[in-house]
Amino acid sequence: MDLLTSLKISASGLAANRKRMGAISSNIANAQTTRTAEGGPYRKKEVVFGAEPARESFGEILEGELDAQAKEVHATEVISTNKPPILKYEPHHPDANEQGYVAYPNINVMEEMANMISASRSYEANINAMNTTKSMALKALEIGR
C-alpha cells in the first residue's frame, strides 16, 4: 500500500467519525426535547458506516493482492431509531397528554457519552495514522540526501 492510499483511508475514517460525533452531540443536546417539527419527541440519531475498496482507477484495481484488502469507511446514512419514547407523569407540563404523561426521547446520556469517547478515540487513532504516514514520507525523502 502506498502512502497516498494510507492517507485516503485515514481521511475517510476522520470524516466518518466526525459525522458520528455530530449525531451523538445532537442526541445529547436533545435528550430532553419533547416537541419537534415532525411532531412528538426527538428521535435518537445513529450513523451507519459502510466500507468500500480504497481504489478508484483501473490502474489502482490492477495493483495487487495487498491493496485488495484496503478499505475506506464511509458514513452511508444517518437514521432515526424506532425506540418508543419514555413516558413520565408530569401533568403540568405543556406537552402532557390527556392522562398527564409526557413523552421524552429514549436517550441514555451516559451511553451517548461512552459513544462520544469511542468516536473521539477512533478520530484520534486516524490522526495518529496520518501523522505516522507523514513521518514515513519525510524519512523517505531524507534518504535521498
- The answer to the question of residue 140 being in a domain is no
- The answer to the question of residue 142 being in a domain is no
- The answer to the question of residue 67 being in a domain is yes
Amino acid letter at 136?
A: M
Count how many domains the chain has: 1
Would you tell me the crossing angle of helices 3-29 and 109-143 to the nearest 10 degrees? 160
Q: Exposed, middle or buried by CB within 10 Å (0-12, 13-18, 19+), for 9?
A: buried
Strand partners, 75: 49
Tens of pLDDT along the chain (145 residues) come to 678 888 888 999 999 999 999 999 999 999 999 999 988 899 999 999 988 776 555 555 555 544 556 778 888 899 999 899 999 999 999 999 999 999 999 999 999 999 999 999 999 999 999 999 999 989 988 887 7
pLDDT at 56: 58
Q: Where in the sequence is the domain holding 112, given as residue range(s)?
A: 3-133
- The answer to the question of residue 116 being in a domain is yes
Please tell me the number of Cα atoms within 13 Å of 32 on its side-chain side. Answer: 1
